[in-house]
Amino acid sequence: MEDKRKAAALTQRGVDLFFQSRYDEALAALEEAAQVDPAASRPWSARALCMAQLGNPRLGLTLAERALELDGNAPMAYTARATCRRRLGDGDGARADFERAMALAPDDYRVYYNYACHWAELGREEECRQTLAMAFDLAPGHFAAVATTDPDLARYSRREWFRDLTVALKQRAALGG
């Protein structure tokens, strides 16, 4: 049980570093988590996302596949695989994985957020806006800071709709929501 707690703490540290765009540090924490508890799917998924951000989506895809072998119902494993597939040019596969992730976790803002990043990278502004709005409806207020610094969303960060969404989310956070 102690190993699972240690792995969970390392995984959370890795995820936190990931959201600070500190991908190399995140990867180190996640690799340690996977060594401590190799049967846990989440470190594998998060490592896959790190690899996508570090420019190695092929390795990320392998890591995401491993996460799915460990837990075929892990929404973040599908999200990670979708992200890697998108970066490898498999848009149809990516969309199918995002849809599977949303079906598995309809209330998980992270799935919708990553799907919004998918649309942003494809230059599909309206789809990005709609999906990001869904993510923000579900997200904790503090998450607005992540969106405003996310390189995947940078192309839209100066748009009025983007500012409106992030301001509304920050206001909700200030009200305790």
CATH number for domain 1-106, candidates 3.40.50.2000, 1.25.40.10, 3.40.640.10, 3.30.450.150: 1.25.40.10
C-alpha span between 46 and 64 (Å, rounded): 8
pLDDT attached to residue 64 = 98
Average pLDDT over residues 90-119: 95
Residues in the chain: 177
Q: What is the pTM of this model?
A: 0.89
Average pLDDT over residues 82-104: 96
- Which residue reads 């890795």 in tokens? 14
- Residue 162: closest CA among 138, 140, 139, 131: 131
Tell me the per-residue pLDDT of 106-154, one tens digit each, with 9 for 90 and over. 999 999 999 999 999 999 999 999 999 999 899 877 677 788 888 889 9
- Which residue reads 């848009």 in tokens? 91
pLDDT attached to residue 120 = 95
**Residue 5 tokens, joined:** 């707690």
Tell me the per-residue pLDDT of 38-78, one tens digit each, with 9 for 90 and over. 999 999 999 999 999 999 999 999 999 999 999 999 999 99
Our CA dihedral for 47, 165, 163, 132, rounded to 10 degrees, sits at: 40
Asked whether residue 10 carries a pLDDT value surpassing 70, the answer given is yes
